[in-house]
C-alpha cells in the first residue's frame, strides 16, 4: 500500500559483601531515577513515528503498514514505525526525548502532549490543521473534538480517536428483576435495589490494580451532575455542590449494596468477569464491552445517557491524539506525514481493529463501524454530550495527566468505594492531594 | 552432671572438635603472595575496563539520582536546585510514614515467615521421604514461576466474593472475606503471598547450609546425650547461622525493593493499605510526576537498606568468630 503525501575469591570479605549489599540496596534508586530503555528506530533521515498498542497486535501491524507505506512528496522524509508498550511509557518517552532519541511524531497518553509542551518539546500542529482545512478533513471532525487541543500558542496535538466512557447494561438482568433501564439517578437507585434482590449489581465498577474505571466512574458522575474537578477557567474546584451531591449519591449506592463491596479491588479482568457472569447489570465502561467480556449475544448493550437530579446529562471522553516533537529531522516532513496518516485512519476502522470512536464523521458512517448499533448509539447520544477530564472547563492541559493517573484520584475513588467516609471529607482529601501535586 | 557433659560435648561438636582434639584452630596459611610490579600492572589494566563499566552503570545513575532528589524538575528537565527540601517534604508526609510502616511489617513477615517455612521444609527434605526429589522441584515452583503469573493465579483464587477461597469460607459458614478489598485483609494477603513466593529461596539456602554440616557432629552430640531439640538449637542453628544471616540480608533487600508482588496483586490499595515505599516512590515519580520527592524516597530507602545490611553483616562476622 502506498500513500501519497498531500503536502510537500571464595573468601567472604567485608568489602566484597558491602559492595554487593550496596549495589542491591541501590536498586530502588536506580529504578526510580534511571533512564528508560528508549530504543531508537530509524536513522536521522526518517520521521520516527511511535505508536502505542491501542488494540490487538493486528492494530499495530496495520498502523505500521500505513506508516511505512507512506510515500512522501519530493523533499520530504519517509517514516519509520515503532510500537511502544504502555508499561512505563512515560519514562520511555521522557528519557528518549531527554537524550534526543525520541520520536518526531507519536501517539501516547491522553495528556502527554500537554506535559511535553510544558517542557518545550512539542511542535505545534497549526500547519497540520491548516492542511486539514484544505483537504476537507477539518470539516469532517465530529463536533468539539479539536477545540480542546488549542492552547494560547497553537494546536498542541491532533485528535485521532475518542476513548469514551458510557453506560452499558445487560438486558436479561433488568428483565429478570422486572425493572426498567434507568433514565435518571432516582431510577438508577431504584433499579439497583431491585437488581440486588437477584444477585446483580446496579453500578458495576472497579478500582483494583491497573484498573482506572473506578476513577473514571467518579469523574463521570460528577460531570453527569454538571460538576467537575476544574472551573471553566481551569482552576481547581473539587468542593462544588454538584460534586458533593454526586459523591453522596455514589456513597448511597455503596451503602445499599448497589456497588459491589469488592469493587475497590477489582482489576479489569475481575470486572470483565462480573459482566460475563451476569453479576454486573449496569455501569460505565469502554467501547466494545460485548467483545471484551466474551458475550456477543446482544444481551449487553449501550444505555442512553441518564439525567442527574438537576437534569444534566454527560459522558466522559478521552480524546487520544497524535503529537509532533521539536526534535525532528524536518518539521515540514513531520507535518506532511501527520496529514497523510490522518487521511488513512479509516483503514483501521474498516478492518475493525479499533475499540474507540473515530474522530471523523465519515468513518462513523462506514458500514464496518455503523453495523454495530452500540457504535451508532454512542455517536448519536453520547459523543455530543461527552466531556473531558477538564470539566467544567474545556481546554486540556498537563495537570490532567496528574489527575488521570495520579495517587489523589485513586485514593479518593477507593475511599468512596469502601464507603467508610462522607462525601465532603473524601472530596476535601481529594482536593488536598491534588493541590500538593498540581502545577500552579 | 549429665547436662554439663552434654553441653561440653555440644560445644566441642559445634566447633567441629573431634574427641581428643585440642580445639585450637590450625594456623591459616599465609595467603598473601608476593606479586611482581609487572604482574600488578597487568592486573590493574585487566581490571580497569570492568571497574569503569561498573562505575558508569551504577555511579552515573546514582549521581544523577542525587541531582534529581535535590531539584524540583521532571524526568526531562532537572529544574531548580532546592537543596534538601524534597527530603524534608517526604519525611513530613503521612503517606511516607504509612508506607514505611507497611514496608517494615511486610519485610519482617516476608523475611522471617519465608525463613521459618524454608527451614522447616529443608529439615523435612533432609530426612528420607518418598519422592523427595519430586517434592523439592514442586516446592521450588513458587519461586520459579513469574510473579505476573502467580499474582494472576492468586487474584483468581481471591479476587472476587465468588472466587475459590472466599467461596470455601462461605461454604464453611465463615462469611465471605474480601481478601483484596478489605484493607487489613489485603495487607495480610500480600504478606502471605510474599512468604509463599519466597520460601523456596530460603529452603534452598538452608538446604545448602545443612548439607555442609558434618553428620558426625550429631552422632557425637547424640552419644553425649543431647536431645533432638538441643541438637537443633545448639548445633544446627549455630552451624547454619552464617548462611541464615546472609539469607536474611538478601531477603530483606528483596522485600524492601519488592515492587511487582504488591503492584500486581493490589496496586498498593485499597486506600494505600498495601503501599510500600518502593510503590510510593514509583507512584510519586510516574503517576504524580513528582520526580524529586520520588527519588528522595528511593534515596532514603537505599540508606536504610545499607544500614540494615551493615548491622546484619556484623552479626555474620560475630557468628563466624564464635
The pLDDT tens digits along chain A (440 residues) read 444 444 433 344 444 444 444 444 544 554 444 433 333 433 458 999 999 999 989 999 999 999 999 999 888 999 999 999 988 888 899 889 988 999 999 999 889 999 999 889 999 999 999 999 999 999 999 999 999 999 989 999 999 999 999 999 999 999 999 999 999 999 999 999 999 999 999 999 999 998 999 999 999 999 999 999 999 988 999 999 999 999 999 999 999 999 999 999 999 999 999 999 999 999 999 999 999 999 999 999 999 999 999 999 999 999 999 999 999 999 999 999 999 999 999 999 999 999 899 999 999 999 999 999 999 999 999 999 999 999 988 888 888 888 988 899 999 999 999 999 999 999 999 999 999 888 65
In a domain, B119, yes or no: yes
What is the rounded distance in angstroms from the CA atom of residue B54 to the CA atom of residue A121? Answer: 32
In a domain, B202, yes or no: yes
- Helix (H), strand (E) at residue A175: helix A171-177
What is the distance in angstroms between the CA of the first residue and the CA of the last residue of chain B?
A: 25
Whether domain A165-317+392-437 has CATH 3.40.190.10 = yes
Task: Please name the residue that has the C-alpha cell 437530579.
Answer: A309
Distance from CA of B253 to the nearest CA of A (A): 6
Of B242, B270, B295, the CB nearest to A32: B295
Residues of B whose CB is below 8 A from A410: 267, 269, 287
- With beta carbons under 8 A apart, name residues in chain A contacting B74: 94, 119
Interchain pair A265, B257: CB under 8 A? no
Q: Does A411 touch chain B (CB under 8 A)?
A: yes
DSSP letter for A319, please: E
Span B151-173, average pLDDT: 94
Residue B73: alpha-carbon gap to chain centroid: 34
Q: Does 3.40.190.10 match the CATH number of domain A39-163+318-386? A: yes
**Residue B270 and residue A418: Cβ atoms within 8 Å?**
yes
Distance from CA of A364 to the nearest CA of B (A): 34
Looking at per-residue pLDDT, the higher value among B36 and A359 belongs to: A359
Q: Do B283 and A407 touch (CB under 8 A)?
A: yes
- A405 inside 8 A of chain B by CB: yes
Residues A284, A216: contact at Cβ < 8 Å? yes
B175 is a domain residue: no
Closest Cα in chain A to B157: A270
For residue B244, what are the domain limits? 97-141+180-321
Count of domains for chain B: 1
Q: Which residues of A touch B80 (CB under 8 A)?
A: none
Which positions in chain A touch B32 (Cβ < 8 Å)? none
What pLDDT shows up at residue A9? 38
Top-confidence residue, A323 or B30: A323
CB contact (8 A) between residue A28 and residue B256 = yes
pTM of the model as a whole = 0.84
Say whether B181 and A410 touch across the interface (CB within 8 A).
no
The predicted pLDDT at position A37 comes to 38
Task: Tell me what pLDDT residue A74 has.
Answer: 85
Query: Please, what sign has the CA dihedral across residues A56, A61, A65, A68?
Result: positive
A192 touches chain B (CB under 8 A): no
Q: Given an 8 Å threshold on Cβ–Cβ distance, is A26 in contact with B77?
A: no
Instruction: With CB atoms and an 8 Å threshold, state whether B313 touches A414.
Output: no
Q: Which of A32, A265, A267 sits opposite B186 (nearest CB)?
A: A265
Q: List the one residue out of A328, A439, A351 whose CA is nearest residue A59.
A: A351
Is B301–A270 a contact, with Cβ atoms under 8 angstroms apart? no
Please check whether residue B258 lies inside any domain of the structure: yes
Q: Decide: A410 and A206 in contact? Cβ < 8 Å.
A: no
Interface contact B58-A30, CB threshold 8 A: yes
Say how many C-beta atoms besides its own lie within 10 A of residue A13's C-beta: 10
Return the ∠ at Cα A69 (arms to A68 and A72), rounded to 5°.
Answer: 95
- Give the integer Cα–Cα distance in Å for A32 and B291: 8
A126–chain B Cβ distance below 8 A for any pair:
no
- Residues of A with Cβ-Cβ distance to B180 under 8 angstroms: 208, 262, 265
User: A28 vs B302: CB contact, 8 Å cut-off?
Assistant: yes
Q: Which of A12, A33, A418 is opposite residue B61, by nearest beta carbon?
A: A33
Per-residue pLDDT band at B26 (split at 50, 70, 90):
low
Mean pLDDT of B67-87: 90
CB contact under 8 A, B62 and A29: yes
Alpha-carbon distance A47 to nearest alpha carbon in chain B (angstroms): 21
List CB contacts (< 8 A) between A115 and chain B: 289
Quote the distance between the C-alpha of residue A10 and its chain's center: 54
> For the domain that residue B127 is a member of, what is the CATH number?
1.10.3720.10
- Asked whether A412 and A218 are in contact (CB, 8 A), the reply is yes
pLDDT of residue B313: 83
Average pLDDT over residues B247-264: 94
| pLDDT (mean) for B264-292 | 93
Q: Pick the residue of B98, B269, B291 with the most A CBs within 10 A to test the interface with A by mutation.
A: B269
Say if the Cβ atoms of B181 and A264 lie within 8 Å.
Answer: yes
Closest chain B CA to residue A98: B76
Q: Enumerate the residues of chain B whose CB falls inside 8 A of the CB of residue A116.
A: 76
Q: What is the predicted ipTM?
A: 0.81
Contact A392, A237 (CB under 8 A): yes
**In what helix (H) or strand (E) does residue A423 lie, and over which residues does it extend?**
helix A423-437
Tell me whether A263 touches chain B (CB under 8 Å). yes
Considering only CA atoms, which of A245, A109, A192, A271 is closest in space to residue B287? A109
Q: At what angle do helices A423-437 and A241-255 cross, to 10 degrees?
A: 120
The set of residues, in sequence order, having a beta carbon less than 8 Å from that of A154 and lying 6+ positions away, is: A124, A125, A126
Amino acid at each position: 500500500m502506498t500513500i501519497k503525501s498531500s503536502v510537500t575469591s571464595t573468601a567472604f570479605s567485608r568489602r566484597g559483601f558491602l559492595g554487593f549489599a550496596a549495589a542491591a540496596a541501590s536498586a530502588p534508586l536506580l529504578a526510580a531515577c534511571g533512564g528508560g530503555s528508549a530504543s531508537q528506530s530509524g536513522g536521522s533521515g526518517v520521521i520516527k513515528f511511535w505508536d502505542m498498542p491501542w488494540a490487538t497486535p493486528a492494530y499495530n501491524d496495520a498502523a505500521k503498514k500505513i506508516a511505512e507505506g507512506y510515500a512522501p512528496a519530493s523533499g520530504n522524509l519517509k517514516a519509520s514505525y515503532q510500537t511502544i508498550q504502555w508499561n512505563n511509557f512515560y519514562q520511555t518517552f521522557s528519557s528518549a526525548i531527554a537524550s534526543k532519541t525520541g520520536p518526531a511524531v507519536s501517539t501516547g497518553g491522553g495528556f502527554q502532549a500537554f506535559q511535553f509542551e510544558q517542557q518545550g518539546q512539542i511542535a505545534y500542529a497549526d500547519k497540520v490543521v491548516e492542511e486539514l482545512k484544505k483537504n476537507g478533513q477539518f470539516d469532517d471532525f465530529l463536533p468539539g473534538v479539536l477545540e480542546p487541543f488549542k492552547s494560547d500558542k497553537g494546536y498542541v496535538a491532533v485528535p485521532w480517536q475518542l476513548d469514551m466512557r458510557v453506560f452499558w447494561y445487560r438486558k436479561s438482568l433488568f428483565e429478570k428483576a422486572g425493572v426498567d433501564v434507568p433514565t435518571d439517578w432516582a431510577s438508577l437507585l431504584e433499579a439497583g435495589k431491585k437488581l440486588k434482590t437477584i444477585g446483580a449489581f446496579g453500578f458495576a465498577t472497579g478500582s483494583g490494580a491497573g484498573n482506572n474505571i473506578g476513577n473514571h466512574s467518579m469523574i463521570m458522575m460528577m460531570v453527569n451532575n454538571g460538576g467537575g474537578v476544574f472551573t471553566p477557567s481551569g482552576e481547581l474546584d473539587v468542593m462544588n455542590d454538584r460534586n458533593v451531591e454526586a459523591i453522596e449519591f455514589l456513597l448511597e449506592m455503596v451503602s445499599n449494596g448497589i456497588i459491589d463491596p469488592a469493587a475497590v479491588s477489582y482489576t479489569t479482568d475481575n470486572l470483565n468477569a462480573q459482566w460475563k457472569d451476569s453479576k454486573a447489570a449496569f455501569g460505565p465502561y469502554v467501547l466494545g464491552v460485548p467483545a471484551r467480556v466474551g458475550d456477543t449475544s446482544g444481551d449487553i448493550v449501550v444505555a442512553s445517557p441518564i439525567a442527574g437530579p438537576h437534569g444534566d446529562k454527560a459522558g466522559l471522553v478521552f480524546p487520544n491524539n497524535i503529537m509532533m516533537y521539536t526534535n525532528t529531522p524536518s518539521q515540514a516532513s513531520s507535518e506532511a506525514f501527520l496529514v497523510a496518516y490522518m487521511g488513512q485512519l479509516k483503514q483501521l476502522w474498516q478492518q475493525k481493529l479499533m475499540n474507540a470512536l473515530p474522530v471523523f464523521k465519515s468513518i462513523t458512517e462506514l458500514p464496518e463501524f455503523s453495523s454495530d448499533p452500540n457504535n451508532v448509539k454512542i455517536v448519536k447520544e453520547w459523543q455530543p454530550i461527552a466531556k473531558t477530564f477538564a470539566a467544567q472547563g474545556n481546554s486540556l492541559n498537563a495537570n490532567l495527566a496528574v489527575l488521570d493517573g495520579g495517587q489523589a484520584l485513586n485514593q479518593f475513588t477507593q475511599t468512596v468505594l469502601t464507603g467508610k467516609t462522607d462525601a465532603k471529607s473524601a472530596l476535601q482529601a481529594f482536593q488536598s492531594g491534588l493541590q500538593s501535586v498540581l502545577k500552579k | 552432671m549429665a547436662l554439663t557433659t552434654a553441653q561440653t560435648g555440644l560445644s566441642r561438636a559445634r566447633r567441629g572438635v573431634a574427641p581428643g582434639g585440642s580445639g585450637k584452630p590450625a594456623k591459616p596459611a599465609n595467603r598473601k603472595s608476593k606479586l611482581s610490579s609487572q604482574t600488578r600492572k597487568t592486573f590493574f589494566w585487566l581490571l580497569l575496563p570492568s571497574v569503569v563499566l561498573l562505575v558508569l552503570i551504577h555511579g552515573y545513575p546514582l549521581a544523577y539520582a542525587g541531582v534529581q532528589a535535590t531539584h524540583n524538575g521532571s524526568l526531562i528537565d532537572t529544574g531548580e536546585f532546592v537543596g534538601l527540601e524534597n527530603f524534608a517534604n517526604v519525611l513530613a508526609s503521612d503517606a511516607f510514614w504509612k508506607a514505611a510502616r507497611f514496608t517494615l511489617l511486610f519485610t519482617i513477615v516476608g523475611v522471617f515467615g519465608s525463613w521459618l517455612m524454608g527451614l522447616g521444609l529443608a529439615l523435612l527434605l533432609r530426612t528420607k521421604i518418598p519422592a523427595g526429589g519430586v517434592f523439592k522441584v514442586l516446592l521450588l515452583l513458587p519461586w520459579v514461576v513469574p510473579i505476573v503469573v502467580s499474582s494472576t493465579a492468586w487474584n483468581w483464587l481471591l479476587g472476587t466474593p465468588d472466587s475459590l477461597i472466599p467461596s470455601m469460607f462461605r461454604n464453611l459458614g465463615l462469611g465471605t472475606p474480601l481478601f483484596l478489598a478489605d484493607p487489613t485483609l489485603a495487607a495480610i494477603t500480600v504478606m502471605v503471598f510474599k512468604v509463599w513466593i519466597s520460601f523456596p529461596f530460603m529452603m534452598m539456602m538452608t538446604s545448602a547450609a545443612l548439607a555442609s554440616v558434618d553428620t558426625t557432629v550429631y552422632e557425637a552430640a547424640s552419644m553425649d546425650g543431647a536431645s533432638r531439640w538441643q541438637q537443633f538449637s545448639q548445633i544446627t542453628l549455630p552451624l547454619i547461622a552464617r548462611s541464615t544471616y546472609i539469607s536474611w540480608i538478601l531477603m530483606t533487600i528483596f522485600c524492601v525493593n519488592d515492587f511487582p508482588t504488591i503492584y500486581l496483586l493490589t496496586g498498593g490499595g485499597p486506600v494505600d493499605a498495601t503501599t510500600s515505599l518502593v510503590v510510593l516512590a514509583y507512584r510519586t515519580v510516574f503517576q504524580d510526576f513528582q520526580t524529586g520527592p520520588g527519588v528522595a524516597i528511593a534515596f532514603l530507602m537505599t540508606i536504610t537498606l545499607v544500614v540494615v545490611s551493615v548491622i546484619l553483616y556484623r552479626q555474620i562476622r560475630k557468628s563466624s568468630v564464635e
